[in-house]
Amino acid sequence: MKITQDVKYIGVNDHDIDLFEGQYEVPHGMAYNSYVILDEKVAVLDSVDRRFGDVWLQNLKETLGDRTPDYLIVQHMEPDHSASMMQFVNSYPNAVIVGSKQAFVMMKNFFGTDFADHRMVVGEGDTLSLGRHQLTFVTAPMVHWPEVIVTYDSTDRILFSADAFGKFGALDVEEDWACEARRYYIGIVGKYGAQVQTLLKKAAALDVQTICPLHGPVLNENLGYYLNLYHTWSSYGVESEGVVIAYTSVYGNTKQAVEELAELLREAGCPKVTVNDLARCDMAEAVEDAFRYGKLVLATTTYNNGIFPFMQEFIHHLTERNFRGRTIGLVENGSWAPSAAKTMRSMLESCPDLTFTETTVRILSALNDGSREQLKTMAAELTR
Protein backbone atom coordinates (compact mmCIF):
# COMPACT_ATOMS: atom_id res chain seq x y z
CA MET A 1 0.00 0.00 0.00
CA LYS A 2 1.40 3.41 -0.96
CA ILE A 3 0.83 6.17 1.60
CA THR A 4 2.86 8.74 -0.33
CA GLN A 5 5.51 8.46 -3.01
CA ASP A 6 8.15 7.53 -0.40
CA VAL A 7 6.06 6.07 2.43
CA LYS A 8 4.76 2.51 2.12
CA TYR A 9 2.57 0.30 4.29
CA ILE A 10 4.06 -3.11 5.13
CA GLY A 11 1.76 -4.27 7.94
CA VAL A 12 -0.36 -7.41 8.22
CA ASN A 13 -3.95 -8.47 8.92
CA ASP A 14 -4.68 -11.02 11.63
CA HIS A 15 -7.90 -13.02 11.22
CA ASP A 16 -6.77 -15.85 13.50
CA ILE A 17 -7.12 -13.85 16.72
CA ASP A 18 -10.33 -14.06 18.77
CA LEU A 19 -9.39 -12.00 21.85
CA PHE A 20 -7.07 -9.01 21.63
CA GLU A 21 -4.88 -8.67 24.72
CA GLY A 22 -6.64 -11.79 25.98
CA GLN A 23 -9.92 -9.98 26.70
CA TYR A 24 -11.33 -7.85 23.85
CA GLU A 25 -13.48 -9.64 21.29
CA VAL A 26 -12.32 -8.83 17.75
CA PRO A 27 -14.73 -10.52 15.34
CA HIS A 28 -13.15 -8.66 12.44
CA GLY A 29 -9.57 -9.41 13.42
CA MET A 30 -6.72 -6.95 13.96
CA ALA A 31 -4.26 -5.03 11.83
CA TYR A 32 -0.66 -4.71 12.96
CA ASN A 33 0.64 -1.72 11.07
CA SER A 34 4.21 -1.05 10.02
CA TYR A 35 5.57 1.52 7.61
CA VAL A 36 8.75 2.15 5.64
CA ILE A 37 10.13 5.49 4.42
CA LEU A 38 12.31 5.21 1.32
CA ASP A 39 14.80 8.06 1.04
CA GLU A 40 18.59 8.39 0.90
CA LYS A 41 18.32 6.47 4.15
CA VAL A 42 15.59 3.90 4.75
CA ALA A 43 13.61 3.86 7.98
CA VAL A 44 11.15 1.18 9.10
CA LEU A 45 8.62 2.15 11.72
CA ASP A 46 7.69 -0.65 14.14
CA SER A 47 7.36 -4.37 13.62
CA VAL A 48 4.38 -6.70 14.11
CA ASP A 49 3.09 -9.54 16.26
CA ARG A 50 5.54 -12.47 16.32
CA ARG A 51 3.07 -14.81 14.57
CA PHE A 52 3.36 -12.64 11.46
CA GLY A 53 7.07 -11.84 11.53
CA ASP A 54 7.84 -13.84 8.38
CA VAL A 55 5.00 -12.20 6.43
CA TRP A 56 6.09 -8.75 7.62
CA LEU A 57 9.72 -9.31 6.61
CA GLN A 58 8.58 -10.55 3.20
CA ASN A 59 6.47 -7.39 2.79
CA LEU A 60 9.52 -5.34 3.73
CA LYS A 61 11.80 -7.21 1.34
CA GLU A 62 9.40 -6.76 -1.57
CA THR A 63 9.16 -3.04 -0.81
CA LEU A 64 12.92 -2.54 -0.46
CA GLY A 65 13.97 -4.40 -3.58
CA ASP A 66 17.78 -4.54 -3.45
CA ARG A 67 18.04 -1.96 -0.64
CA THR A 68 18.50 -2.55 3.09
CA PRO A 69 17.03 -0.54 5.98
CA ASP A 70 19.22 1.90 7.87
CA TYR A 71 16.91 2.35 10.85
CA LEU A 72 14.19 0.54 12.76
CA ILE A 73 12.19 3.11 14.71
CA VAL A 74 10.51 1.51 17.73
CA GLN A 75 7.65 3.72 18.85
CA HIS A 76 5.98 1.22 21.19
CA MET A 77 7.34 -1.91 22.87
CA GLU A 78 4.07 -3.79 23.37
CA PRO A 79 4.62 -7.22 21.78
CA ASP A 80 2.00 -6.78 19.06
CA HIS A 81 4.36 -4.10 17.68
CA SER A 82 7.81 -5.24 18.80
CA ALA A 83 7.85 -9.04 18.97
CA SER A 84 9.35 -9.40 15.47
CA MET A 85 12.28 -7.11 16.24
CA MET A 86 14.81 -9.91 16.62
CA GLN A 87 13.83 -11.38 13.26
CA PHE A 88 14.49 -7.94 11.78
CA VAL A 89 17.84 -7.63 13.56
CA ASN A 90 18.89 -11.09 12.38
CA SER A 91 18.00 -10.15 8.81
CA TYR A 92 19.48 -6.64 8.93
CA PRO A 93 22.22 -6.66 11.59
CA ASN A 94 23.66 -3.29 10.53
CA ALA A 95 20.42 -1.34 11.00
CA VAL A 96 20.36 1.19 13.84
CA ILE A 97 17.57 0.73 16.41
CA VAL A 98 15.86 4.02 17.31
CA GLY A 99 13.74 4.40 20.42
CA SER A 100 13.28 6.15 23.75
CA LYS A 101 15.51 5.47 26.75
CA GLN A 102 12.70 3.50 28.40
CA ALA A 103 12.17 1.46 25.24
CA PHE A 104 15.73 0.14 25.40
CA VAL A 105 15.20 -0.89 29.01
CA MET A 106 12.19 -2.89 27.84
CA MET A 107 14.16 -4.41 24.96
CA LYS A 108 16.64 -5.73 27.50
CA ASN A 109 13.76 -7.27 29.43
CA PHE A 110 12.11 -8.80 26.37
CA PHE A 111 15.12 -9.85 24.30
CA GLY A 112 18.09 -9.88 26.65
CA THR A 113 19.83 -7.04 24.81
CA ASP A 114 19.51 -3.27 24.58
CA PHE A 115 21.46 -3.03 21.31
CA ALA A 116 24.15 -0.84 22.89
CA ASP A 117 26.44 -1.11 19.85
CA HIS A 118 23.89 0.04 17.26
CA ARG A 119 21.19 2.15 18.81
CA MET A 120 20.00 5.75 18.83
CA VAL A 121 18.23 7.02 21.95
CA VAL A 122 15.78 9.82 21.18
CA GLY A 123 13.62 12.11 23.27
CA GLU A 124 11.30 15.09 22.93
CA GLY A 125 12.13 17.20 19.86
CA ASP A 126 15.04 15.08 18.64
CA THR A 127 15.33 14.76 14.88
CA LEU A 128 16.54 12.30 12.29
CA SER A 129 17.27 13.20 8.67
CA LEU A 130 16.73 10.52 6.05
CA GLY A 131 17.66 12.89 3.23
CA ARG A 132 14.56 14.60 1.90
CA HIS A 133 12.48 13.42 4.87
CA GLN A 134 13.03 15.08 8.23
CA LEU A 135 11.66 13.17 11.23
CA THR A 136 10.91 14.72 14.61
CA PHE A 137 10.24 12.59 17.67
CA VAL A 138 7.55 13.49 20.18
CA THR A 139 7.34 11.72 23.52
CA ALA A 140 3.94 10.29 24.46
CA PRO A 141 4.43 8.61 27.84
CA MET A 142 1.47 6.53 29.05
CA VAL A 143 -0.30 6.62 25.71
CA HIS A 144 -0.51 3.95 26.81
CA TRP A 145 2.92 2.62 27.92
CA PRO A 146 5.67 4.80 29.40
CA GLU A 147 8.21 4.36 26.58
CA VAL A 148 5.99 5.55 23.72
CA ILE A 149 7.17 8.04 21.13
CA VAL A 150 5.36 9.24 18.02
CA THR A 151 7.11 10.41 14.88
CA TYR A 152 6.36 13.41 12.68
CA ASP A 153 7.52 13.49 9.06
CA SER A 154 7.51 17.19 8.16
CA THR A 155 8.15 16.46 4.49
CA ASP A 156 4.97 14.50 3.84
CA ARG A 157 3.24 15.96 6.94
CA ILE A 158 2.55 12.53 8.41
CA LEU A 159 2.11 11.77 12.10
CA PHE A 160 3.05 8.17 12.88
CA SER A 161 0.88 8.02 15.99
CA ALA A 162 1.73 4.68 17.66
CA ASP A 163 -1.41 3.32 19.38
CA ALA A 164 -3.19 6.69 19.30
CA PHE A 165 -6.01 6.77 16.71
CA GLY A 166 -5.98 2.98 16.54
CA LYS A 167 -9.00 0.70 16.30
CA PHE A 168 -9.99 -2.93 16.41
CA GLY A 169 -10.46 -4.72 13.09
CA ALA A 170 -8.32 -5.81 10.15
CA LEU A 171 -7.82 -3.45 7.22
CA ASP A 172 -9.56 -5.73 4.72
CA VAL A 173 -12.90 -5.35 6.52
CA GLU A 174 -15.27 -2.46 5.88
CA GLU A 175 -16.79 -1.09 9.10
CA ASP A 176 -17.54 2.17 10.87
CA TRP A 177 -14.34 3.66 12.27
CA ALA A 178 -15.80 5.33 15.35
CA CYS A 179 -17.49 2.29 16.87
CA GLU A 180 -14.40 0.08 17.04
CA ALA A 181 -12.01 2.99 17.62
CA ARG A 182 -14.10 4.07 20.62
CA ARG A 183 -14.14 0.58 22.09
CA TYR A 184 -10.39 0.30 21.49
CA TYR A 185 -9.66 3.71 23.01
CA ILE A 186 -11.82 3.32 26.12
CA GLY A 187 -10.74 -0.25 26.77
CA ILE A 188 -7.02 0.18 26.25
CA VAL A 189 -6.09 3.86 26.47
CA GLY A 190 -9.04 5.30 28.39
CA LYS A 191 -7.35 5.43 31.79
CA TYR A 192 -4.81 7.89 30.41
CA GLY A 193 -6.99 10.75 29.22
CA ALA A 194 -4.72 13.44 30.64
CA GLN A 195 -1.73 12.04 28.78
CA VAL A 196 -3.71 11.84 25.54
CA GLN A 197 -4.73 15.46 25.99
CA THR A 198 -1.05 16.38 26.29
CA LEU A 199 -0.26 14.53 23.07
CA LEU A 200 -3.16 16.21 21.27
CA LYS A 201 -1.79 19.62 22.28
CA LYS A 202 1.62 18.69 20.88
CA ALA A 203 0.03 17.42 17.66
CA ALA A 204 -1.95 20.65 17.29
CA ALA A 205 1.36 22.50 16.82
CA LEU A 206 2.22 20.33 13.82
CA ASP A 207 0.92 20.54 10.27
CA VAL A 208 -0.56 17.05 10.11
CA GLN A 209 -2.23 15.93 6.89
CA THR A 210 -2.09 12.16 7.45
CA ILE A 211 -2.21 9.99 10.58
CA CYS A 212 -0.60 6.55 10.42
CA PRO A 213 -1.56 4.55 13.54
CA LEU A 214 -0.30 1.11 14.60
CA HIS A 215 -3.81 -0.36 14.37
CA GLY A 216 -6.59 0.49 11.95
CA PRO A 217 -6.68 2.49 8.73
CA VAL A 218 -4.47 5.37 7.66
CA LEU A 219 -6.42 8.60 8.21
CA ASN A 220 -5.99 11.29 5.56
CA GLU A 221 -9.43 12.88 5.18
CA ASN A 222 -11.64 14.80 7.61
CA LEU A 223 -8.94 14.75 10.30
CA GLY A 224 -10.98 17.23 12.36
CA TYR A 225 -13.59 14.51 12.87
CA TYR A 226 -11.07 12.07 14.35
CA LEU A 227 -9.31 14.73 16.40
CA ASN A 228 -12.59 15.99 17.84
CA LEU A 229 -13.61 12.49 18.87
CA TYR A 230 -10.26 11.92 20.51
CA HIS A 231 -10.60 15.20 22.37
CA THR A 232 -14.05 14.19 23.63
CA TRP A 233 -12.92 10.73 24.69
CA SER A 234 -9.73 11.87 26.39
CA SER A 235 -11.46 14.73 28.24
CA TYR A 236 -14.20 12.31 29.37
CA GLY A 237 -16.83 14.43 27.69
CA VAL A 238 -20.27 13.28 26.59
CA GLU A 239 -20.24 12.21 22.96
CA SER A 240 -23.96 11.47 22.51
CA GLU A 241 -27.13 12.27 24.41
CA GLY A 242 -28.93 9.24 25.77
CA VAL A 243 -29.33 6.82 28.67
CA VAL A 244 -27.48 3.55 29.12
CA ILE A 245 -29.00 0.92 31.40
CA ALA A 246 -26.58 -1.74 32.62
CA TYR A 247 -28.13 -4.53 34.63
CA THR A 248 -27.90 -8.01 36.09
CA SER A 249 -30.88 -10.17 36.93
CA VAL A 250 -31.17 -13.57 38.61
CA TYR A 251 -34.80 -14.59 38.18
CA GLY A 252 -36.00 -11.95 35.75
CA ASN A 253 -37.55 -9.40 38.11
CA THR A 254 -34.75 -6.84 37.79
CA LYS A 255 -34.77 -7.42 34.04
CA GLN A 256 -38.50 -6.64 33.97
CA ALA A 257 -37.89 -3.40 35.84
CA VAL A 258 -35.17 -2.44 33.36
CA GLU A 259 -37.44 -3.15 30.39
CA GLU A 260 -40.21 -1.04 31.88
CA LEU A 261 -37.79 1.79 32.63
CA ALA A 262 -36.43 1.68 29.08
CA GLU A 263 -39.95 1.94 27.68
CA LEU A 264 -40.75 4.87 29.98
CA LEU A 265 -37.61 6.66 28.79
CA ARG A 266 -38.50 6.11 25.14
CA GLU A 267 -42.06 7.34 25.72
CA ALA A 268 -40.64 10.46 27.34
CA GLY A 269 -38.62 11.23 24.22
CA CYS A 270 -35.15 10.09 25.27
CA PRO A 271 -33.05 10.31 22.09
CA LYS A 272 -31.27 6.99 22.70
CA VAL A 273 -31.81 4.17 25.20
CA THR A 274 -29.24 1.38 25.28
CA VAL A 275 -29.72 -1.68 27.49
CA ASN A 276 -26.86 -4.05 28.41
CA ASP A 277 -27.33 -7.36 30.20
CA LEU A 278 -23.91 -7.55 31.86
CA ALA A 279 -24.00 -11.33 32.16
CA ARG A 280 -24.39 -11.78 28.41
CA CYS A 281 -23.14 -8.73 26.53
CA ASP A 282 -19.60 -7.85 25.50
CA MET A 283 -18.36 -6.13 28.67
CA ALA A 284 -16.09 -3.85 26.65
CA GLU A 285 -19.07 -2.61 24.62
CA ALA A 286 -21.04 -1.94 27.79
CA VAL A 287 -18.12 0.09 29.15
CA GLU A 288 -17.90 1.91 25.82
CA ASP A 289 -21.59 2.86 26.07
CA ALA A 290 -21.17 4.17 29.61
CA PHE A 291 -18.48 6.57 28.43
CA ARG A 292 -20.28 7.52 25.23
CA TYR A 293 -23.56 8.69 26.74
CA GLY A 294 -24.29 11.23 29.45
CA LYS A 295 -26.60 9.21 31.71
CA LEU A 296 -26.22 5.74 33.19
CA VAL A 297 -28.62 3.55 35.16
CA LEU A 298 -27.16 0.67 37.18
CA ALA A 299 -29.64 -2.04 38.13
CA THR A 300 -28.68 -5.11 40.11
CA THR A 301 -29.56 -7.47 42.92
CA THR A 302 -28.14 -7.60 46.39
CA TYR A 303 -25.88 -10.65 46.35
CA ASN A 304 -23.85 -12.15 49.21
CA ASN A 305 -24.31 -8.87 51.06
CA GLY A 306 -22.81 -7.06 48.11
CA ILE A 307 -23.79 -6.85 44.45
CA PHE A 308 -23.94 -9.35 41.61
CA PRO A 309 -20.42 -10.16 40.30
CA PHE A 310 -20.96 -8.90 36.74
CA MET A 311 -22.09 -5.52 38.06
CA GLN A 312 -19.11 -5.39 40.38
CA GLU A 313 -16.79 -6.07 37.44
CA PHE A 314 -18.54 -3.46 35.31
CA ILE A 315 -18.19 -0.72 37.93
CA HIS A 316 -14.55 -1.69 38.40
CA HIS A 317 -13.97 -1.16 34.67
CA LEU A 318 -15.54 2.30 34.96
CA THR A 319 -13.55 3.46 37.97
CA GLU A 320 -10.32 2.02 36.56
CA ARG A 321 -10.76 4.24 33.49
CA ASN A 322 -11.49 7.46 35.43
CA PHE A 323 -15.24 7.52 34.83
CA ARG A 324 -16.65 10.97 35.59
CA GLY A 325 -19.08 13.72 34.76
CA ARG A 326 -22.22 11.62 34.30
CA THR A 327 -25.74 11.40 35.75
CA ILE A 328 -26.33 8.11 37.56
CA GLY A 329 -29.57 6.34 38.48
CA LEU A 330 -29.58 3.30 40.80
CA VAL A 331 -32.02 0.40 40.86
CA GLU A 332 -31.62 -2.24 43.56
CA ASN A 333 -33.40 -5.52 44.22
CA GLY A 334 -33.40 -7.65 47.36
CA SER A 335 -35.71 -10.12 49.04
CA TRP A 336 -34.93 -9.31 52.68
CA ALA A 337 -32.13 -6.74 53.02
CA PRO A 338 -31.60 -4.80 49.79
CA SER A 339 -28.32 -2.88 49.92
CA ALA A 340 -27.11 -2.87 46.31
CA ALA A 341 -27.64 0.86 45.81
CA LYS A 342 -25.48 1.69 48.83
CA THR A 343 -22.75 -0.66 47.57
CA MET A 344 -22.80 0.77 44.06
CA ARG A 345 -22.70 4.35 45.29
CA SER A 346 -19.76 3.47 47.53
CA MET A 347 -17.88 1.90 44.62
CA LEU A 348 -18.36 5.09 42.59
CA GLU A 349 -17.09 7.43 45.32
CA SER A 350 -13.76 7.91 43.58
CA CYS A 351 -15.41 9.17 40.37
CA PRO A 352 -15.53 12.98 40.22
CA ASP A 353 -18.47 15.09 39.08
CA LEU A 354 -21.15 12.42 39.25
CA THR A 355 -24.76 13.48 39.80
CA PHE A 356 -27.18 10.91 41.22
CA THR A 357 -30.90 11.03 40.54
CA GLU A 358 -33.00 11.98 43.55
CA THR A 359 -34.91 8.74 43.12
CA THR A 360 -33.42 5.34 43.86
CA VAL A 361 -35.65 2.48 42.79
CA ARG A 362 -36.01 -0.26 45.43
CA ILE A 363 -37.53 -3.57 44.41
CA LEU A 364 -38.47 -6.06 47.10
CA SER A 365 -38.22 -9.31 45.12
CA ALA A 366 -40.65 -8.21 42.38
CA LEU A 367 -42.14 -5.00 41.04
CA ASN A 368 -45.21 -3.59 42.76
CA ASP A 369 -47.17 -0.36 42.53
CA GLY A 370 -44.67 1.49 44.71
CA SER A 371 -41.55 0.49 42.79
CA ARG A 372 -43.29 1.16 39.47
CA GLU A 373 -44.01 4.71 40.64
CA GLN A 374 -40.31 5.06 41.47
CA LEU A 375 -39.44 3.94 37.92
CA LYS A 376 -41.75 6.63 36.52
CA THR A 377 -40.18 9.28 38.74
CA MET A 378 -36.66 8.22 37.76
CA ALA A 379 -37.56 8.28 34.06
CA ALA A 380 -38.90 11.81 34.45
CA GLU A 381 -35.69 12.92 36.18
CA LEU A 382 -33.53 11.39 33.46
CA THR A 383 -35.45 13.10 30.64
CA ARG A 384 -35.83 16.60 32.04
CA dihedral 348, 234, 31, 281 (to 10 degrees): 30
Q: Which pTM was predicted?
A: 0.93
**What CATH class has 240-382?**
alpha beta
Radius of gyration over every alpha carbon of the chain, rounded to an integer in angstroms: 24
C-alpha count within 13 angstroms, C-beta hemisphere, residue 209 = 7
Domain residue ranges of the chain, discontinuous segments joined by +: 7-234, 240-382
Question: What DSSP string describes 338-349?
Answer: --HHHHHHHHTT
DSSP bridge partners of 273? 243
Domain 7-234 belongs in CATH node 3.90.180.10:
no
- In three-state secondary structure terms, 202 is helix
Over its length of 384 residues, how does the chain's per-residue pLDDT go in tens digits? Answer: 899 999 999 999 999 999 999 999 999 999 999 999 999 999 999 999 999 999 999 999 999 999 999 999 999 999 999 999 999 999 999 999 999 999 999 999 999 999 999 999 999 999 999 999 999 999 999 999 999 999 999 999 999 999 999 999 999 999 999 999 999 999 999 999 999 999 999 999 999 999 999 999 999 999 999 999 999 999 999 999 999 999 999 999 999 999 999 999 999 999 999 999 999 999 999 999 999 999 999 999 998 888 999 999 999 999 999 999 999 999 999 988 889 999 999 999 999 999 999 999 999 999 999 999 999 999 999 999
